[in-house]
Amino acid sequence: MNQAVASPLRAHPAFDALREARIDSLNLTVEHYEHKATGAVHYHLASDSPENVFLVALRTVPHDSTGVAHILEHTALCGSERFPVRDPFFMMLRRSLNTFMNAFTSSDWTAYPFASQNRKDFDNLLNVYMDAVFFSRLDPLDFAQEGHRVEFAERDNPDSDLVFKGVVFNEMKGAMSSVSSTLWQVLCEHLFPTSTYHYNSGGDPAHIPDLSYDELSDFYRSHYHPSNAIFMTFGDIPATEHQARFEELALAKFERLEEKIAVAPEQRIASPLQIADSYAFDEPGSTAQKTHIVMGWLLGESSDLQALLEAQLLSSVLMENSASPLQRLLETTELGLAPSPLCGLEDSMREMVFCCGIEGSESEHRDAFETQVLQVIEDLARDGVAQERVEAVLHQLELHQREISGDSYPYGLQLILQSLGCATHYSDPIAVLNLDPVIAELREQIKEPDFIPRLARKLLLENPHRVTLVMSPDQSLSQQRDESERARLADIASQMDSDEKARVIELAHQLEQRQAQVDDESILPKVTLADVPATLPELTCEQTERNGVTLTRYAQGTNGLVYQQAIAALPQLSADQQALMPYYTNLMTELGLNGGSYLETQNRQSATVGSINAFTSMRGDVNSEQAVTANLVLSSKALAANSGEQIALMRDTLYSVTFEETDRIRDMISQQRARREQSVTGNGHGLAMAAACAGMSPLAQLNHQLTGLAGIRSVRKLDEDLRSADALAALSQQFTDLHKRVADMPVQLLAIAEAEHMDSVTESALAGWPGSSVDGSADLWTPTAIREARNELWVTNTQVNFCARAYPTVPVGHPDAAPLTVLGAILRNGFLHRAIREQGGAYGGGASQDSGIAAFRFYSYRDPRFWDTLADFDASIAWIAETNLDSQPLEEAILGVVGSLDKPSSPAGEAKQHFHNGLFGRSHAQRERFRQQILSVTLDDVRRVASEYLTPENASTAVITNPKQRDADLSRIEDSGLLVQEL
């Protein structure tokens, strides 16, 4: 792999062409190159996709929990030699038509990726990223802003208390509020006693202040060098053109470093460990059934493809779905309420980890739980597993290999990230992209009856490198940490003389001046409105009908997969039935069909489809947010060869599901509760916005009541109530009644497949789906209109705050929707980013117009403040009214909005979006009209809508905070009119 070979590949003269490999299942060719002078590697995924992706990754191997790699990721993007402005990354976000821009810190690499469909834009971003990574300025003020610093609580008063500040410091306080993050970190500390994974690569808030600027600089010099770099690209730009730019922008200026940065192999422990630890639990009341018990095994090298597939295979046999033996145990054991979020195989590190566990338990259940888990694995090792189950698991691996995703990250970036781990560990990333040969080999191996039992023995039963972790809630831990932090700060203050105190005050002033300075942005490249495509491409589709059932079909490049949906308008529902919808849609694909058990359903799903799920799709009318349309959607994907069985499964799911398995219902609702409770620390800003908007439209109200903070509180109560057999029986009957209402509604179908499969898919769908004689048009769901203010403060288990303020506005069909949308981008770019993130220390903040619910929302994310943040929201409104802006902020805001409107999805995702847009009145013409309105927005339009809609009397506010913050500010909370809500 390290020697140049004879190859038809064309490489830039500075590179050696090593090899290429065609991967038919992904419809691309992977090309491998090495830079002659520095040894930097370049993998190019040659595709006909016009969405080109770039990523440069550096192996980063920290040896402490100061967060050095994470803070460096932030600081490197704060100015470079060619672009010595304060914030080039965020400036480029608004000077670009990118479809993706970000930076990631993993446990053993740091990566800087972007994607764009525009070649000029791609070249602009490449200029900035290459300079940021290899020629960063690392200004000490940026380290103070992004990493950590001390300031006086009263900034200019040296007699006031010291406080820690810093974006990463506050981000990690928020991240470590998550119980699952704490679980994983503590488990890794013991599974990896000697290697880099022992430490928190993101940074432990207790250790982040230990990092010095000099240590950050040293880490940069040793790690951010081309000899330690992995370049990866995807798309239709030839590799030679990329390499010419790499050479020109950076590589020609470096020589090879001989030091090889790598993760050391972990030293194996001789016998299993049992560890007891605790996590901060700040909620009042009992801590009963709040303990987590997790078992973790250290397996083999993730870069060994055979070992990787074997581990994936065994993990899936044990835990793929509720019919899998270990997953079934975790869902049904009386020792806990739900499976742990840490279940399954983690294969992103050098050595793989297999985990299983439960939450809602007690520490005294540890030994019994261990015994139950090991017994399941021993049973598998003794009895084996049915051949069809192993075949089904391989079917899932093949389907996953073929799927062209890209609805969250660009497809090319997902492929790059999938292969980056192997490249990081000096192994072959091409092999992990081309799984077909290994899957074919496994298909032969599984014919041997002892194959799976042998894996179970080797990887788990006979593997002594095992840790059982018991994490119990501690209601005093947060206070202990606060006291420790205050004591540390007091000790720092006690050792300061007057000059040192003056330097702290001076640093705060210097940082404020730097944050307020106006940089010469003209040195940064940009695209302009002239580079925006004039129109959006429109997909084409066909419709056909049989027996009263209409099927809409899209011929798309899906790489051998078929996506099908059945869509039915929701009937009129009672308030109680509406409240049950999130549980109903979750249960629909989790219960028995045709009188069978849910276990039989799970096995049938695994053998037939890649996924099947039900959900409700709701949107406000184009011209009225009070008029809401709602559909039930049953959605699945499968290999083309299984499209007939796929439609039969969907039909049986909708018409033959029964709600009689009450134990299963209770288990699933407990699991849903656990997932929803864990969502707060990761999506607190979304939950806060939903609470602030809850009075602005029927859809906004439902979002809050069903899936927002009120919904989390409701699922807790429901889960508690279901401990009564009578309540469980009553709920079963309610689901049965609700299902009859829904299943009686007429259905229409959606099919997405490659052109050569479309006729057979159409025939099987229309032949397999019964027609309906029911006219559901007279009985459609029509929610009650609502328009009222809400002001709430929600108290939960979090170390940071999430703030939101919202104002009622207009739906997308209104002429003011476009300037309101642009207003959000201007406020974020021009005021909120600086005030909330840079000065306030929150991880993020911004504003946006949601035309679906006719609301304009402000938000902050992982925020150390909340009163000052709410004041910043208000100050931004005054800023837009009083500041004499030129045309540049307007153009940047419009570019950002158009970039998000034009962002591509996967082939199947674009078809689904086109179809459902049409169902809700969002025609191509309407979307083009809105896009043109965006392009025509003026600064006068923006100021007018800000003054008209964002008025104090119309504001609604929601804050998520913790009990300590609530208690400290109780009188002010009461005076402000915020209604305290306990989550």
Rounded CA gap, 53 and 101, in Å? Answer: 10
Please give the structure tokens belonging to residue 836: 């909330």
Q: Euclidean distance between the first and final Cα of the chain, in Å?
A: 56
pLDDT of residue 86: 86
Please give the structure tokens belonging to residue 601: 């359903």
What's the pLDDT tens digit per position in 612-648? 999 999 999 999 999 999 999 999 999 999 999 999 9
Q: Which CATH class is domain 15-263+517-523?
A: alpha beta
- For 875, other C-beta atoms within 10 Å of its C-beta total 13
Query: How big, in percent rounded to 5, are the helix, strand and coil portions of the chain?
Result: 50, 20, 30
Q: Which residues contact 511 (CB under 8 A, 6 or more apart)?
A: 141, 144, 145, 149
Q: What stretch of H or E contains 794?
A: strand 791-795
CA nearest neighbour of 71 among 94, 100, 103, 93: 103
The runs of H, that is alpha helices, within 866-952 are: 867-882, 887-902, 907-919, 924-935, 939-949
pLDDT of residue 688: 97
Q: Where are the domains of the chain?
A: 15-263+517-523, 273-474, 542-779, 791-982
What's the pLDDT tens digit per position in 706-759? 999 999 999 999 999 998 999 999 999 999 999 999 999 999 999 999 999 999
- For 337, other C-beta atoms within 10 Å of its C-beta total 19
Rounded CA gap, 174 and 186, in Å? Answer: 17
DSSP 8-state class, residue 339: E
pLDDT of residue 33: 97
What's the pLDDT tens digit per position in 169-208? 988 988 888 888 999 999 999 999 999 999 999 999 999 9
Q: How confident is the model at residue 1 (pLDDT cuts 50, 70, 90)?
A: very low
Task: Count Cα neighbours of 836 within 13 Å in the Cβ-side half-sphere.
Answer: 34
Task: Identify each DSSP E strand in 489-646 by its residue range.
Answer: 542-546, 549-555, 561-569, 611-620, 628-639
CATH dotted code for 273-474 = 3.30.830.10
Please give the structure tokens belonging to residue 969: 């500010």
Q: What stretch of H or E contains 473?
A: strand 466-474
Q: Which CATH class is domain 791-982?
A: alpha beta
CA nearest neighbour of 204 among 113, 333, 80, 70: 70
Tell me how many degrees the CA angle 328-329-331 measures, rounded to the nearest 5.
Answer: 65
Reduced to 3 states, what is the DSSP secondary structure of residue 623?
Answer: coil
List beta partners, residue 31.
Answer: 20, 44
pLDDT of residue 4: 40
Residue pair 658/668 in contact (Cβ under 8 Å)? The answer is no
Q: How confident is the model at residue 3 (pLDDT cuts 50, 70, 90)?
A: very low
DSSP codes joined into one string, 133-149 = HHSB---HHHHHHHT-E
> Would you say residue 798 has pLDDT above 90?
no
Topology alike, domains 542-779 and 791-982: yes
Q: How far are the Cα atoms of 97, 213, 761, 833 from residue 907, in angstroms, in the given order? A: 20, 46, 17, 34
Residue pair 866/845 in contact (Cβ under 8 Å)? The answer is no
- For 140, other C-beta atoms within 10 Å of its C-beta total 18
CA quadruple 638, 643, 647, 650: dihedral, nearest 10: -10
- At 858, phi and psi to the nearest 5? -100, 150
Average pLDDT, the chain: 93
pLDDT of residue 537: 85
DSSP codes joined into one string, 497-557 = -HHHHHHHHHHHHHHHHHHH----GGGS----GGGS-SS------EEEEETTEEEEEEE--
pLDDT of residue 360: 93
> Would you say residue 472 has pLDDT above 80?
yes
The lowest-confidence range among 394-403, 706-715, 966-975 is 394-403
Rounded CA gap, 692 and 955, in Å? Answer: 9
Tell me how many degrees the CA angle 942-945-951 measures, rounded to the nearest 5.
Answer: 130
Residue pair 891/934 in contact (Cβ under 8 Å)? The answer is no
> Would you say residue 772 has pLDDT above 80?
no
Q: Which residues contact 724 (CB under 8 A, 6 or more apart)?
A: none
Tell me how many degrees the CA angle 630-635-638 measures, rounded to the nearest 5.
Answer: 170
- At 435, phi and psi to the nearest 5? -80, -15
Fold of 542-779: Cytochrome Bc1 Complex; Chain A, domain 1 (3.30.830)
What's the pLDDT tens digit per position in 5-64? 444 788 999 999 999 999 987 889 999 999 999 999 999 999 999 999 999 999 999 999
